[in-house]
Amino acid sequence: MKLYLVHPPSHYSGVVPPLGLAKLAAYVRERMPDISITAFDLRVESQRRVFFEAVASEKPDVVGMYGIAPDADLVEALLLRLRPHARYLALGGPLATVFHRHALLNYAVDYLILGEGEIPFLKLLSRLKEGREDVSDIQRVFQRGDMDFSYDPAADLVPDINTLPLPAWDLFDVPAYFRFSHNSMSNVLGRKRVMPVFTSRGCPFGCAYCHNIFGKKFRPKSPENVLEEIRMLVDRYGVDAIEILDDTANLDQGRIMAILDGIIALGRKLRLTFPNGLRTDLLSEKLIDKLAEAGTYRISLGIEVGTRRSQRALHKVQSFGRMERAINYMASKRSIVIGGFLMIGCPGETRKEIEATISYARRLPLDMVSIHIVTPFPGNGIFERLSEERKAQVMAIPPERFSYDNMPFTVCELSAEELVRIKRLAYLSFYSDPKRMFSLSRKISLKEFATGGYEMLRIISSGRHRLLADTREGPATA
């Protein structure tokens, strides 16, 4: 059996190495060693011509593709182009998980894999290798013609992720990623030779706006396992910065402290970043000290909102006092770029409550903010609270239209146009603060500050933030 694993082209200028595909390839290769696996990342221009020539001549048995909602139109076009050249086409990632009904009805695809991919995809490949196409008994796999999309998102998750092999980066052109100006979720404040790592999967907090790709059970890797992967990246590819992509890396403080101690012991002067966010109210001074000692240069914090009622609406209640103490202490380190995620337009939110969130963020010693408009992605908690009529309206929107800036309606008291206007003004008020800009200039290089300054002007004019990646739809590399 010949398997192609493919990352499609993207509308985004940034090219984050496809950790999810590398993990999937390693898992399949370990358990089905007789399968021929070839990986392609079509965001890398040099791979596009090679890919289309290869797929036309080799005609693989299975093409497995990753997709996210903003790139849905590109995924749809690519699947249609591949249809004559592959026996089976399978789609996974956030696009398949969130928009499964739309994908099966509209795309030239045979199978969808929802949520975490390793076990369901392996079962699908085994079934197809046996010459059988029916997958009705395989959890979280759907095929063309299915109309019942009920499934258990917790079924067939890898119970112990320490058993997963190291990512199969040997199947990818890793040095190509270092040549991109935005080769990480850290974007303009990142380093060139940066690679992503997951140290855990799953998040138990159940925030209403979030995805459910990895389930609600926290499944950590051991510090030894994490350090083995980091050593491989450093020794094999000369990596000098690591992006930790967990949803909640600091849920177990003892574990993350052990990982940081191990990184310090490596003696490689690595730089660390946490672009998806740490749980702010779980940050202790001891952990912040260790993060700084281990070389952390950037952390994103999920502050979200500035009122208790909006916290409850998002199902994310945090202690404002604990958050403030943690952020103030982190600011005292003078070495970590502190970013904050904010959300406006929560269910039932008023203009006054939105202004309270913006004022709260301005009072904090944050270097950057990324402001998102609350969006009812199909399946998240916000969506489930909508009326049936509203749900139907949401489901009628093409996946590529879904973003935190582009929804035709809101779940608060303000219109979409008003929220976008408030967002732009909030960015202007935040980034026009000389004290804040002076603080940031002391933490990053002159080149990074100049690039960041240009980006901030673009943010103010467009209302869209690229300094802090929009990752709430789902892990960009999952």
- pLDDT of 463 > 80? The answer is no
Could you please report the per-residue DSSP string of 418-464?
Answer: HHHHHHHHHHHHHHT-HHHHHHHHTTS-HHHHHHHHHHHHHHHHH--
- pLDDT of 472 > 50? The answer is no
pLDDT in tens, 145-173: 888 888 898 999 999 999 999 999 999 99
- pLDDT of 187 > 60? The answer is no
pLDDT at 476: 37
pLDDT in tens, 31-86: 999 999 999 999 999 899 899 999 999 999 999 999 999 999 999 999 999 999 99
Mark out the alpha helices in 172-296 (DSSP H runs).
174-177, 223-237, 253-266, 285-293
Determine which of 213-227, 261-275, 401-415 has the lowest per-residue pLDDT on average. Answer: 401-415
CB 113 within 8 A of CB 96: yes
Determine which of 65-79, 127-141, 347-361, 447-461 has the lowest per-residue pLDDT on average. Answer: 447-461
Domain map of the chain by residue range? 2-143, 184-462
**Domain 2-143: what homologous superfamily?**
Cobalamin-binding domain (3.40.50.280)
pTM over 0.85: yes
Beta strand 337-344 pairing with 271-278: unpaired
Q: Span 8-33, mean pLDDT? A: 95
Beta strand 111-113 pairing with 241-244: unpaired
CB 49 within 8 A of CB 193: no
pLDDT in tens, 314-352: 999 999 999 999 999 999 988 899 999 999 999 999 999
- Rounded CA-CA distance 173/476 in Å is 18
- pLDDT of 446 > 50? The answer is yes
In this structure, which topology does domain 184-462 adopt according to CATH?
pyruvate-formate lyase- activating enzyme (3.80.30)
pLDDT in tens, 277-325: 789 999 999 999 999 999 999 999 999 999 999 999 999 999 999 999 9
> Dihedral (C-alpha) 261, 262, 263, 266: value to the nearest 10 degrees?
120
Lookup result for tokens 């992509």:
245
